[in-house]
Structure 1
Amino acid sequence: MGTRLDSREDQAETVTDQLQEAYPDATISLNFSNRLELLVAVVLSAQCTDERVNETTPDLFETYQTPADYAGADEEQLAEDIYGITFHNNKAGYLKGIGEILVDDHDGQVPDTMDALTDLPGVGRKTANVVLQHGHDVVEGVVVDTHVQRLSRRLGLTDNERPEAIEEDLQELVPQEAWQEITHLFISHGRAVCTARSPDCTDCCLEDRCPSSQLDSDIDLASGEQWDA
């Protein structure tokens, strides 16, 4: 079982420092060359692997290069063009709707505010945060995907389950200048070591700091143990 720290603030600082050493090049894994491509890729990535998205988008981006292209697309054809992406039929509708709104309300540009982005079909706060951070260099929050949700709970940084509540907790614990980085560090570690079903605690650089370590411990990985506030 990992060492118990005095506070979640100490834990957050230690976790960030150690993951920075382990993953110095951690960054977004989706492929894109402009803001529209970023927005489309992130929408497609919901409940789908980045690897599958990156396999699909080269041909998609060749065919659909502007918001007007998505707005004028035949929805059935668009769904066929992203076949293999999870919920491709629904996401085709999202992409067409996004194109229409960008053309009608934003002069064909991807907006740079949280409110405008979350008004787009298929775009929630997580997606909007990614677009703001990597498309506009605006860091307004922490992107909480499934890896961040899982690791922040296992590491004792939050007791919450909802992404919005976890984001609030992390924003209080992590300096704003590290909000963007912490997401990529958690994602990298979640993919490489702290997987959902079979976390490799033996080779984990955070094992001695993790209240959910499976080494000599029967602690529930979903929640970990309580940390002093």
Structure 2
Amino acid sequence: MPPCSPTVCHAVQCLAMKSPYFMQSRSVVTRSGDQNAASSLRSKLTSRRRDVDPVSSVVVKVEEEEEEEVEARICEQRPSSASLSRGGCHPKTETSPLASHSRRKRQLKVEYDRDEGVAPVQTGHWEPPDWKKQLGYIREMRSGRDAPVDNMGAEKCYDSEAPAHVRRFQVLVSLMLSSQTKDQVTAAAMQKLRAHGCTVENILATDDEALGKLIYPVGFWKTKVKYLKRTSAMLQEVFSGDIPDSVEGLVSLPGVGPKMAHLAMDIAWDQVSGIGVDTHVHRISNRLGWLKKPTKNPEETRKALEEWLPRELWSEINWLLVGFGQQVCLPVSPLCSACLNQYSCPSAHKVSPTKRPKAGSPRSPNPTSSFTTKTEPEQESSVKHERTKKEPRPTPVSPTAQRTRLKSKVDH
């Protein structure tokens, strides 16, 4: 191999002296057998790096969140030749272990901030606004205690001189008859039953036809005859002639629902087990906005009221709202102009025209006069149907007969 020219040899020697990496690689190639010389050369190069580039040691101490910013500053401070020779600043396309570790920590932090498994914070106890003031006004309007429920309700229909188990049975019978029936009709039927003998034994000994005549005209009287017979038989066989002393036992009887069971527990056993919700309580609670959301049936209303209404008011609220619904907050055309809650009730004057209070209402000029209650929507439709049956319908007149009548009038 011919020797190189002096110019080429000088250039190679200059390049080898200026580039430490070239010197390291050269030493490794030419002195592959001498490990001690290679290690000493590496230690020298490392110490020289620290002397030349003192900023690189700062990179390790910088926190992971500020790594990219510090690397950008280091790239600006370093000369281009040093960066090429020592591999100082990596392009952003390359990912270092610290950068990837920092990204992983940020992802974990985002997942932690979601808090998907943590339950939402419970808010305070819900209650309708102004319910205490509205209840006070209802008490004021019911202070006369002259509604039908006050004089003819289940508390007034039993024989106070009868034995305790007979009194409790009569309370249950009056509640069963009161379903879809006005209090006046229920009270009249109970008077006839008490005169006949309203006991478990007498009800079982009376045939269905005679029992139907005694309770007529209560609503669905034929169905209630069957319920009375089956309930009396069950009381005699299972409960030793007395009514059950629990809501579960009462609702197991034929024809007895939750409303009757809670009222029977309150009146017969003097135990408050729940709110007795009938059509009046259901209607008025929705009109006053005493529920978180509107309910569709009395049982939903009962559960919604019991969530917030204090337990000491459960016994009072039934007869208060029932009498209020019989006199003022009527099912059809309520007397909003006579109601003390007309300025706080969300349903005021929406379905009721402004008119004078009826006789017998708490705001009427003559409160001692008689008061006639309106029926429920179901009873109202049945009453209208009966009236249309009783009223004679006009017979249709043919056009020929009409001409004959007109001609006879003209001739006369």
TM-score above 0.5: yes
Gaps of 5+ in 1: 1-6, 219-229
Is 1:144 aligned to 2:302, yes or no?
A: no
**Residue 335 of structure 2 contacts residue 352 of structure 2 at CA under 8 Å; is this kept in 1?**
no
Q: CA deviation at 1:183?
A: 1.2
Q: CA deviation at 1:129?
A: 1.0
The counterpart of 1:59, out of the listed 185, 192, 212, is 192
Instruction: Write out per-residue CA displacement over residues 39-84 of structure 1, whole angstroms, 9 at most, x where no aligned residue.
Output: 1111001001111011121121121332121123212221122121
Letter paired with 2:133? T
The residue that corresponds to 2:61 in the other structure is: none
Q: CA deviation at 1:25?
A: 6.2
Instruction: Write out per-residue CA displacement over residues 8-31 of structure 1, whole angstroms, 9 at most, x where no aligned residue.
Output: 433332222221222236565422
Instruction: Write out per-residue CA displacement over residues 168-206 of structure 1, whole angstroms, 9 at most, x where no aligned residue.
Output: 111122110101111111111111111011111111011
The residue that corresponds to 2:314 in the other structure is: 179
Is 1:13 aligned to 2:146, yes or no?
A: no
Letter paired with 2:236? V
**Residue 11 of structure 1 contacts residue 157 of structure 1 at CA under 8 Å; is this kept in 2?**
no
The counterpart of 1:36, out of the listed 148, 152, 169, is 169
Letter paired with 2:130? Q
Larger RCO: Structure 1 or Structure 2 (Cα < 8 Å, ≥ 6 residues apart)? 1
**Residue 129 of structure 1 contacts residue 140 of structure 1 at CA under 8 Å; is this kept in 2?**
yes
Letter paired with 2:191? P
The residue that corresponds to 2:142 in the other structure is: 23
Letter paired with 1:206? N
The counterpart of 2:343, out of the listed 190, 208, 217, is 208
The residue that corresponds to 2:250 in the other structure is: 117
The residue that corresponds to 1:153 in the other structure is: 286
Gaps of 5+ in 2: 1-125, 160-166, 354-412
Percent of residue pairs identical: 31
**CA–CA separation in structure 1 for the residues paired with 2:135 and 2:300:** 20
The counterpart of 1:46, out of the listed 176, 179, 183, is 179
**CA–CA separation in structure 2 for the residues paired with 1:193 and 1:47:** 19
Which moved further from structure 2: 70-79 or 139-148? 70-79
- RMSD (Å), alpha carbons: 2.0
**Residue 142 of structure 1 contacts residue 167 of structure 1 at CA under 8 Å; is this kept in 2?**
yes
More helix by share: 2
**CA–CA separation in structure 2 for the residues paired with 1:157 and 1:95:** 35
**Residue 251 of structure 2 contacts residue 257 of structure 2 at CA under 8 Å; is this kept in 1?**
yes
Letter paired with 1:12? W
Query: Which residues in structure 2 correspond to 1:49-128 (within 5 Å)?
Result: 49-128=182-261
**Residue 15 of structure 1 contacts residue 206 of structure 1 at CA under 8 Å; is this kept in 2?**
yes
**CA–CA separation in structure 2 for the residues paired with 1:150 and 1:168:** 15
**CA–CA separation in structure 2 for the residues paired with 1:15 and 1:187:** 15
**Residue 72 of structure 1 contacts residue 96 of structure 1 at CA under 8 Å; is this kept in 2?**
no
Q: Which has the larger radius of gyration?
A: 2
Cα distance, 1:216–1:134 mapped onto 2, change above 3 Å: closer
Structure 1 counterpart SS, 2:343: helix
